[in-house]
Amino acid sequence: MLQGEQNRESFRFQSLSLSLFVLSSFLLIGCENIFAPMSSADTNEALLYSARMHTDRGEWTEALEDFDQMTADYLAQREVKVFHASVYAGRCGLDFIQLLTRLEQLSTQKLFEFLFQSYPGGTAQKQADCVSAEALLKEIGGTAARNRDENFLMAMLSLVKIGVVLNKAADADLDGVVDATFDPCASDALTDDDAKEVGTGLVIFANSLSQTGQSSAVADAFQGVCDLFGTSESDPFIAYKFCDKENVADITTAEQVLGIRTFVKDGAAIGLGAILTPACTTAIDLSTPATPQGCICFPGIP
Model confidence over 220-263: pLDDT tens digits?
888 888 888 888 888 888 999 999 999 999 999 999 999 999 99
- pLDDT (tens digit, 9 = 90+) per residue, 186-222? 999 999 999 999 999 999 999 999 999 887 787 888 8
Q: How many CA atoms lie within 13 A of 233 on its CB side?
A: 0
| Burial class of residue 248, CB neighbours in 10 A (0-12, 13-18, 19+) | middle
Torsions phi, psi for 260 (to 5 deg): -65, -45
pLDDT given for residue 225 in this prediction: 83
Q: For the segment 107-154, what is each residue's pLDDT rounded down to a tens digit?
A: 778 899 999 999 999 999 999 999 999 999 999 999 999 999 999 999
Q: Are 49 and 36 a contacting pair, CB within 8 Å?
A: yes
Q: What is the pTM of this model?
A: 0.86
Q: What is the mean pLDDT of the chain?
A: 85
Strand partners, 12: 215
- Provide the sign of the torsion angle of the four alpha carbons 191, 197, 201, 204, taken in this order: positive
For residue 146, the tally of other CB atoms under 10 A from its CB is: 21
Q: How far apart are CA 197 and CA 207, in angstroms?
A: 15
- Sign of the four-CA dihedral 208, 209, 210, 213: positive
* Residue ranges of domains in the chain: 5-30+77-275
